[in-house]
Structure 1
């Protein structure tokens, strides 16, 4: 390869890198500008806030990622998060709280409640996966229907009442820090453990290989002997378990909850996954990329807050980012074809 060809090759590599990471580079640029204009943006308190917000959304995005990698999606994610939060909150109120949801309920241990939340959410995931696998309902429709169904169940269960008065040892899960270090909140550690588990599952297990195979070419995967139905059910079940965990943590973080908690979180998760390189066309995605995508999305929101942008306009910007991220992903897919 002569010097001219080498220059052309390097130029193409740079252009490809910029195209593949356009939104990430843009958002980092925005954060740098905000850091210059607002000096308190770069601070320990803001880092702690960013890490805590990122932690829960990273867990949700991990769940959504498996669905996307298999050319599916999960629009029920946000409502399952809300249901998990409501179940946890109703079972972990202070025994002496005046407006207790279950007045005669004994004081339940936190691990027991967590298992209950995860089991109920896992059942929702199994139903999602079964409807998609056996009834051949497109994931978009199946999970959209489940989104409304779960919201209705949550409304009936709570009576649309806000739930507060949570036990201090429960809320401490979200507010506590390992060794009292500001940069090591428990939420961050839990998210890191989930990330490591999912990385191992995606890269070192048969389940991960099957998942990528289905995303690449489902028919070819079936011919190769992959039980695609079982794999999809496991993917949607695991996703729902992660949503339940996120809801459990969100209720603790907020000190209370309502039926509207988690609404719209599935769109943020899909956007974060797409920004992080998880293709909506299936077969592609890494846990490290998902983390970057969630960080970038949260960084954008915090940057807009520091710049004093009204919440209404923040939603407009987030919507544009989602559209652009998916459009760029589709462009890469079409270019490969």
Structure 2
């Protein structure tokens, strides 16, 4: 079972290469100075809203070209007219301000959990009059300009949301030399950073741990004069899937380049249980971890050598620089990775999608350590 969103791609009538992006509403304040004093940059994304099931089948609704031939989703079950009217109201527009609508794409989200996945219906239309007053709430952008925002992040610069990436950017990039098995669902955001939930021995209500794969499609040669603690063509972070899913992990490793780096954020079983599979499939892989983490990992998981990291080291993956970040708190040796070009932080269990990260006091988990290190 899944919930559904409707996302709208509105084309510019005077420039077919441009589409409309809506400035996203910032999250609510917490009434805590420590949080509220931080001002984030503006996030721009495709306008979207929740897509509810159709309860009144008496009206024909809005005609979506191509929807009838789609085998992935039956739009007649959903109140597309109500959702579309709500989206356009956010823009100060009405349904008759747009020409014909067509089904552009249907994207099924991976089961990250603990709630239901959120699948997205993307529909496309062209605004009939491009001189509408946007009042600074929306702007016209091209796929190329959005990609620049993603790959050349500057401090305080505007950001692009995930719907643009799902709908337009990922399909516009050149194909990678590797492809994941088609049966696996994943998220790629920003481009080159794949997040794949794998069933693991994690804590309830979660069922999966995110396996992160970094293998950029567009190799950069502008890495500067850095000394790297490791370099490779692909990176895997936290291979912690359950034993019954090790076959899937084998398929993933087989897809990736042989020059592979494995990075472990911490020692918990739901982050390392698949290490033995990587060791068997690719004994030449380079493992990076904190020395305290390695002391807590069993020899049955990894018996080969490793490179100890403690923070501020640089690694090179496909021509892109990532920096190791010391991030204690969940454990005393928890690590993170920063993709320098996109300012994307791979955090392990330092941050979680719902609730709060647990402090493992048996492994030195302590928020005092975190604050004293920042």
Normalised-by-shorter TM-score class = under 0.3
Higher helix share: 1
Larger C-alpha radius of gyration, 1 or 2? 2
Q: TM-score, normalised by structure 2?
A: 0.22
Higher strand share: 2
Select the structure with the greater relative contact order (CA < 8 A; seq sep ≥ 6).
Answer: 1
Q: TM-score, normalised by structure 1?
A: 0.24
